[in-house]
Chain A
Amino acid sequence: DVKVTQSSRYLVKRTGEKVFLECVQDMDHENMFWYRQDPGLGLRLIYFSYDVKMKEKGDIPEGYSVSREKKERFSLILESASTNQTSMYLCASSLRDRVYEQYFGPGTRLTVT
């Protein structure tokens, strides 16, 4: 059974703090993705990675960075959190040639005050 886990379900941080969100998948998937989900806007891709140490910008990368040092782990970093980064963050993974079949984690609800 495919499993994608995220480090926290709920997180509250202050403006200016550095925030780390971690994602781990156990299915040996090549691709990993970070999305944010906001009401009325759906899922928007922040970054994705198709291999260890490889990353590509998605549609909204500003204010975020990522790290993929191991195949199973993909981290999202908010260098200096701002209130407009309050959102639900979802991690997903897929096999290299099956981008259409993404497996999602449960999400992290981040609130920046």
Chain B
Amino acid sequence: QKEVEQDPGPLSVPEGAIVSLNCTYSNSAFQYFMWYRQYSRKGPELLMYTYSSGNKEDGRFTAQVDKSSKYISLFIRDSQPSDSATYLCAMSAGTDSWGKLQFGAGTQVVVTP
């Protein structure tokens, strides 16, 4: 069983809708939770990160972490066609070099005009 599970999609939503993405994990040592966005034919780029449990908001993006349920979420409000990408969750047990990231498989999101 993978340490990080993520539904691959694709997830298709109309422009303006809320996009809801999530990942589950099994390793209770994870403390850092990240969301990366990857456009087609590009490398991933960090979108948001959260330490431990709680919510974090950045513009149209909200990240939530529920460590008790081992479940993280990313919400995109007022979605735009430019949000069409693959979204990867990633997790780490620490911030130093030994805190290797474990990635989910990624969810492909398509926002239709």
A contact residues vs B (CB 8 Å cutoff): 4, 30-31, 40-45, 48, 50, 56, 58-59, 90, 92, 96-107
Contact A42 B103, CB 8 Å, known A92-B43, A101-B46, A104-B44: yes
Q: Are B96 and A97 in contact (CB under 8 A)?
A: yes
B32 within 8 A of A: yes
Q: Are A105 and B32 in contact (CB under 8 A)?
A: no
Q: Are A42 and B104 in contact (CB under 8 A)?
A: yes
Contact A102 B100, CB 8 Å, known A42-B105, A43-B88: no
The answer, among B43, B49, B90, B96, for a CB contact under 8 Å with A105, is B43
Report 24 cross-chain contacts, Cβ distance below 8 Å, ordered by A residue.
A4-B43, A31-B97, A42-B88, A43-B88, A43-B90, A45-B100, A45-B101, A48-B100, A56-B97, A96-B97, A98-B95, A99-B95, A99-B96, A99-B100, A100-B32, A100-B99, A101-B46, A101-B49, A103-B45, A104-B44, A105-B43, A106-B43, A107-B41, A107-B42
